[in-house]
């Protein structure tokens, strides 16, 4: 069995859904994981926000506009009266459900139920289209097998058992459709795997059923060796190791959800990144094999804040870093990069919601400087393969760029530097020229 996940743009219009049906029909047995149509989850977030704020009229208006959009898609998607009637009735039932939420009782639980409607809609509409085209398929409700535990992590043991049980009900079937992103939580309520989580559904499910391959289909031909928005002539990377892909996914290579590599890596299931608009292109394959050669890609992440902490007390003292880290822990703010000298530590964060509280606490025992508007640029590869010389190559390429921090040696797959965001484009271009 293979898992094929398609993102929001791949089901983003009637035409794209029709093309998708052609792409997935026939061939080896597969489970197709779908996102919501592009824009839908954002719209549902707005509806939920309006309801949470007690703005019922606003929520009604937004719901009406979204329903209109779906009516238009149905009108184009289905060719027969029967299918149009059935598809429209399915859509209407989800919108009736959406309208049943009221501002009077709108807690996190209701919010998550609202957010789940996008994937429920796209899969119902798509499966109805497959029926119209006489393509035999089974709609597997993700809420019957995807589950997170109390720690918000996937409950792998239960997912394995429940997914196997669901699949065993359909011997001989070869095409299954299911929802990405949505799941149940430890209390059995509807929940989700956080924004962009459909990739995660695909790799969790792939790991649970020990799929032979997990395919993530998007609108770009695999992971690129640099950011195509800033650098001309980037190219897709043919092959990456799980470790390299995990570093890249985290550092803003938007095409993969950061946590989704792990389940595939644990079961050693290859993940292939493919392009719906160019299905024959080979894309990127991510496997447990070390691909041997050195520098693979460069990626950048903006919106970084650097905090420099200086204290005479750090000199020869132990426990200083613990005290610093505890402040970030208490404020639930993850640290991305860190460098130290004998008397100072610099670190970076990408969420500033608790910045004022963090700075106030730090000032209790050291001096603090904050710089916002920074970008982390990371160079990813397997640096064991090329023990000497790669640092020279990186820094030679960056010789004209002011560098605020350097992180080297944290893993064998990543060298990161922090630069002012205004120098990012130049740095990416310089690295492209110097490294590839």
Q: Provide the binding-site residues for ligand ASP, judged by CB under 6 A.
A: 7-8, 35-36, 41, 118, 180-181, 195-198
SS3 assignment, position 143? helix
| CA 67 and chain centroid, separation | 26
Between 5 and 224, name the residue whose CB sits nearer to ligand ASP.
Answer: 5
Q: What string of H, E and C letters represents the secondary structure of 28-73?
A: CCEEEEECCCCCHHHHHHHHHHHHHCCCHHHHHHHHHHHHHHHHHH
Contacts of residue 201, Cβ cutoff 8 Å, sequence gap at least 6? 5, 33, 142, 146, 178, 179, 180, 181, 182, 183, 193
Between 183 and 345, name the residue whose CB sits nearer to ligand ASP.
Answer: 183
Between 154 and 196, name the residue whose CB sits nearer to Mg ion.
Answer: 196
Q: Which two tokens stand for residue 199?
A: 């990739």
By CB under 5 A, which span of 84-92, 104-112, 191-199, 343-351 interacts with Mg ion? 191-199
Between 41 and 63, name the residue whose CB sits nearer to ligand ASP.
Answer: 41
Residue 392, Cβ density class (10 Å: 0-12 exposed, 13-18 middle, ≥19 buried): exposed
Contact between 118 and Mg ion per CB under 5 A: no
Q: What is the DSSP letter of 226?
A: S
Q: What is the DSSP letter of 87?
A: H
Between 7 and 87, name the residue whose CB sits nearer to Mg ion.
Answer: 7
Structural contact between residues 309 and 345, judged by C-beta atoms closer than 8 angstroms: yes
Q: How far is the CB of 36 from Mg ion (least distance, A)?
A: 11
Q: Which two tokens stand for residue 117?
A: 């409607």
Q: How far is the CB of 306 from Mg ion (least distance, A)?
A: 28
Q: How far is the CB of 116 from ligand ASP (least distance, A)?
A: 10
Q: Which does residue 96 touch among ligand ASP, Mg ion, none (CB within 5 to 8 A, set by kind)?
A: none
Contact between 12 and Mg ion per CB under 5 A: no
Give, in order, the Cα–Cα distances in Å from 47 to each of 38, 43, 114, 117.
Answer: 16, 6, 8, 12
Q: How far is the CB of 38 from Mg ion (least distance, A)?
A: 10
Between 106 and 251, name the residue whose CB sits nearer to Mg ion.
Answer: 251
Q: Which does residue 41 touch among ligand ASP, Mg ion, none (CB within 5 to 8 A, set by kind)?
A: ligand ASP
Question: Binding to Mg ion (CB under 5 A): which residues in 228-257?
Answer: none
Between 118 and 196, name the residue whose CB sits nearer to Mg ion.
Answer: 196
Q: How far is the CB of 80 from Mg ion (least distance, A)?
A: 32
Structural contact between residues 207 and 266, judged by C-beta atoms closer than 8 angstroms: yes
By CB under 5 A, which span of 5-13, 113-121, 205-213, 280-288 interacts with Mg ion? 5-13
Q: Which of 87, 196, 258, 381 binds Mg ion (CB under 5 A)?
A: 196
Q: Which does residue 416 touch among Mg ion, ligand ASP, none (CB within 5 to 8 A, set by kind)?
A: none
Between 45 and 135, name the residue whose CB sits nearer to ligand ASP.
Answer: 45
Nearest-CB residue for Mg ion: 196
Q: How far is the CB of 228 from Mg ion (least distance, A)?
A: 16
Structural contact between residues 2 and 29, judged by C-beta atoms closer than 8 angstroms: yes
Structural contact between residues 3 and 202, judged by C-beta atoms closer than 8 angstroms: yes
Between 36 and 51, name the residue whose CB sits nearer to Mg ion.
Answer: 36
SS3 assignment, position 232? coil
Give, in order, the Cα–Cα distances in Å from 344 to each of 157, 173, 186, 313, 374.
Answer: 45, 62, 43, 10, 19
Between 255 and 321, name the residue whose CB sits nearer to Mg ion.
Answer: 255
Q: Which two tokens stand for residue 320?
A: 């200083």
Q: How far is the CB of 118 from ligand ASP (least distance, A)?
A: 5
Contact between 263 and Mg ion per CB under 5 A: no
Q: How far is the CB of 119 from ligand ASP (least distance, A)?
A: 6
Strand partners, 300: 377
Q: Which does residue 70 touch among ligand ASP, Mg ion, none (CB within 5 to 8 A, set by kind)?
A: none
Ramachandran quadrant class, 252 (left: phi over 0; alpha: psi -120 to 50; beta: rest): left
Q: Which two tokens stand for residue 24?
A: 């997935």
Q: How far is the CB of 340 from ligand ASP (least distance, A)?
A: 36
Q: How far is the CB of 7 from Mg ion (least distance, A)?
A: 5
Q: Which does residue 181 touch among Mg ion, ligand ASP, none (CB within 5 to 8 A, set by kind)?
A: ligand ASP
Q: How far is the CB of 117 from ligand ASP (least distance, A)?
A: 10
Contacts of residue 18, Cβ cutoff 8 Å, sequence gap at least 6? 77, 129
Between 180 and 258, name the residue whose CB sits nearer to ligand ASP.
Answer: 180
Among the listed residues 109, 224, 205, the one whose alpha carbon sits nearest the alpha carbon of residue 166: 205
SS3 assignment, position 403? coil
Contact between 381 and Mg ion per CB under 5 A: no
**Residues 87, 63, 219, 275, Cα dihedral to 10°:** -30
Number of residues that bind Mg ion (CB under 5 A): 2
Q: Binding residues for Mg ion, per CB under 5 A?
A: 7, 196
């Amino acid at each position: 069995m293979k898992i094929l996940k398609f993102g929001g743009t791949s089901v983003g219009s009637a035409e794209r859904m029709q093309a998708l049906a052609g792409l997935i029909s026939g061939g080896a047995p597969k489970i197709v994981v779908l996102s919501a149509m592009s824009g839908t989850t954002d719209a549902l977030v707005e509806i939920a926000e309006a309801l949470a704020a007690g703005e019922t009229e606003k929520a009604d208006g937004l719901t009406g506009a979204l329903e209109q959009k779906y009516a238009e898609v149905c009108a184009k998607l289905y060719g027969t009266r029967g299918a149009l009637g059935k598809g429209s009735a399915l859509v209407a039932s989800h919108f009736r459900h959406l309208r049943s939420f009221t501002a009077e009782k709108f807690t996190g639980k209701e919010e998550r139920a609202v957010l789940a409607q996008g994937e429920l809609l796209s899969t119902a509409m798509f499966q109805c289209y497959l029926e119209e085209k006489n393509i035999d398929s089974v709609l597997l409700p993700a809420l019957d097998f995807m589950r997170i535990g109390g720690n918000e992590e996937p409950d792998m043991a239960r997912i394995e058992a429940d997914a196997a049980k669901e699949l065993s009900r359909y011997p001989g079937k070869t095409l299954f459709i299911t929802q990405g992103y949505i799941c149940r939580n430890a209390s059995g309520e509807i929940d989700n795997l956080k924004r962009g989580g459909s990739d995660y559904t695909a790799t969790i499910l792939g790991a649970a059923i020990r799929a032979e391959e997990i395919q993530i289909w998007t609108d770009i031909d695999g992971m690129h060796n640099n950011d195509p928005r800033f650098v001309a002539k980037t190219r897709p990377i043919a092959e990456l190791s799980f470790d390299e892909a995990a570093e890249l996914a985290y550092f803003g290579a938007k095409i993969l959800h950061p946590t989704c590599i792990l389940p595939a890596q644990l079961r050693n299931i290859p993940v292939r990144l493919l392009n719906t608009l160019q299905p024959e292109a080979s894309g990127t394959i991510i496997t447990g094999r070390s691909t041997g050669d050195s520098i693979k890609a460069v990626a950048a992440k903006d919106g970084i804040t650097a905090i420099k902490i200086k204290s005479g007390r750090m000199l020869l003292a132990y426990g200083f870093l613990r005290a610093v880290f505890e402040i970030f822990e208490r404020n639930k703010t993850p640290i991305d990069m860190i460098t130290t000298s004998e008397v100072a530590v610099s670190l970076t964060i990408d969420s500033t919601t608790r910045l004022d509280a963090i700075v106030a606490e730090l000032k209790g025992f050291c001096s603090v400087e904050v710089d916002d508007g920074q970008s982390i640029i990371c160079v990813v590869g397997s640096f064991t393969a090329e023990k000497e010389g790669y640092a020279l190559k990186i820094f030679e390429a960056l010789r004209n760029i002011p560098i605020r921090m350097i992180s080297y040696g944290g893993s064998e797959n990543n060298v990161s530097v922090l630069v002012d965001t205004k120098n990012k484009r130049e740095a990416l271009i310089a690295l492209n020229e110097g490294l590839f």
